Amino acid sequence: MTKIPIIIDTDPGIDDAMMLTLAFANEDALDVRLVTTCSGNISQDKTNYNARSFLSYIEANVEIARGLEQPIFRQLEVAEDIHGESGFGNVQFPMPKLPVSKRPAITAMLETILASDEKITIVATGPLTNVAALLLAHPEVKANIERISWMGGAAVGGNMSPSAEFNAYVDPHAVEIVFRSGIPIVMSGLDVTHKAFVTVEEAKNILAIGTEFAEKAYHLVTYYLDVIKRTPFHEENYDQVLHFHDVCAVMYLLKPEYFKGQDCYVEVALEGVTAGATVVDYTNRSGKVPNVHVLHTVNREEFVSEFMKAVVTISDKLK
């Protein structure tokens, strides 16, 4: 099997950790060349520490580079109310063995992309600040980027405002830069990620694996339940499902047949009460050329099965 060379840009974050689990459990299919950290769910200090701590724990061997501290034009807004002060709820991982790269994220991304004989896919599961900065400063990399698989945005409804998803809301200007880049983009927005859930009963199967890693993974994802109960709004069956938003961005690369979507023209609102809203032209009324492949449906049962396999793979690796 030919491996897909990827760079992962992430802001760990509970579901980011689950995304990293899936990515590093499938090293036969994915060649992770670099991990960079963005500011989003928590501050850059914490996201970089968490990436190094988690990836050290699962015995990954990868460079981890520190990204930008703030969105391009806005003040950083974090989601500690969702992910906990540390970003990992109540779960602790050992001190990281993996060091902070001597290269800042933008330099590391640039050099990794230009040095590759194959086109690189970027998996982004946080605000697009680092990716946008790379494209602005070094447009020459575009020719060697296969695609950007991003968890973010929403065609209908948001989770940060009535119309904006969190990652898009945090840095909408970065979204605009990336969407106008001409690079193929796959958007795993809330429309599909809200369908990519694990039920509370299914989550118990993680715990039943019986390893230390599986126990930590279970307590990570079930931390959401206590958080959701404290929020002023509840979705249907809020106390029975756990959403694995960021996992979709990697799962699509591994199992594109699990998903359905369509090519659409998408713009992002930059200011005001709609800032961060990703406006998806499903009916092509704008007449503009589609710039994003927007996912809207997932085979949930297959999604869950594949994720469970990843937890078992990492568990077996750490025995």
Whether cis (ω within 30° of 0) applies to the bond prior to 157 is: no
- Distance between CA atoms of 271 and 283, rounded to whole angstroms? 25
Inter-CA distances, 288 with 105, 265, 273, 284, 293, Å: 33, 6, 25, 7, 14
- Distances in Å between the Cα of 157 and the Cα atoms of 163, 191, 278, 299, 313 are 5, 8, 10, 21, 35
CA angle 20, 21, 22 (to 5 degrees): 90
Nearest to 144 by CA among 134, 154, 133: 134
DSSP letter (8 states) at residue 26: T
Is the bond leading into 152 cis (omega within 30 degrees of zero)? no
Q: How far apart are CA 220 and CA 44, in angstroms?
A: 20
**Residues known to be catalytic:** 245
